[in-house]
Amino acid sequence: GVAYLLYADRKIWAAVQLRRGPNVVGPWGTLQAFADLLKFVFKEPVIPSGANKGVFLLAPLVSAVLAISAWAVIPVNNGWAIANINVGILYVFAISSLEVYGVIMGGWASNSKYPFLGALRSAAQMVSYEVSIGFVIVTVLL
């Protein structure tokens, strides 16, 4: 399922951008996703010299764990969810609000003012759209 979607996504973007697409690894590019996975796993992390190494490596992990944990309450099939709770939408709102901390940690870990200011701007944007999306979801639930 997912492999076919990745393959179709790559082929569609290749057609949109008028290029031939991923046809380098495997027959017709079918093993390109595995090649990308291997490249990602064996890639050396680049950490700026003045950065706080622990926080710099922890920030994307915090964001990824929070994003994945938000999917715990979303049912995939009838009655089939990782966590079947009555207040699932509030849980998703709470988790999405916590995502701001990963962004701020990433900016703060660089020990430079400009990335931190950029992270604060991103955090402000995230908080501002949470209010409007909250109103939209509450309106749908009413």
Ramachandran area for residue 83 (φ above 0: left; ψ -120 to 50: alpha; else beta)? beta
The per-residue DSSP string of 9-45 comes to HHHHHHHHTTS--S-SSSGGGTTHHHHHHHHHHTPPP
pLDDT at 11: 80
Radius of gyration, alpha carbons of the chain: 20
Please list the pLDDT of the chain residue by residue as tens digits (142 residues): 787 888 888 788 878 887 665 556 777 777 777 888 888 889 888 888 888 889 999 999 999 999 999 888 888 777 777 777 778 888 888 998 999 999 999 999 988 899 999 999 999 999 998 889 888 988 988 8
Rounded (5°) CA angle 119-36-24: 135
Q: Which residues pair with 77 in a beta bridge?
A: 80
Its pTM stands at: 0.67
In the chain, which ranges are E strands?
Answer: none
The predicted pLDDT at position 15 comes to 80
Report CA-CA distances (Å) from 10 to 1, 22, 38, 89: 14, 7, 17, 33
pLDDT at residue 62, as a whole number: 94
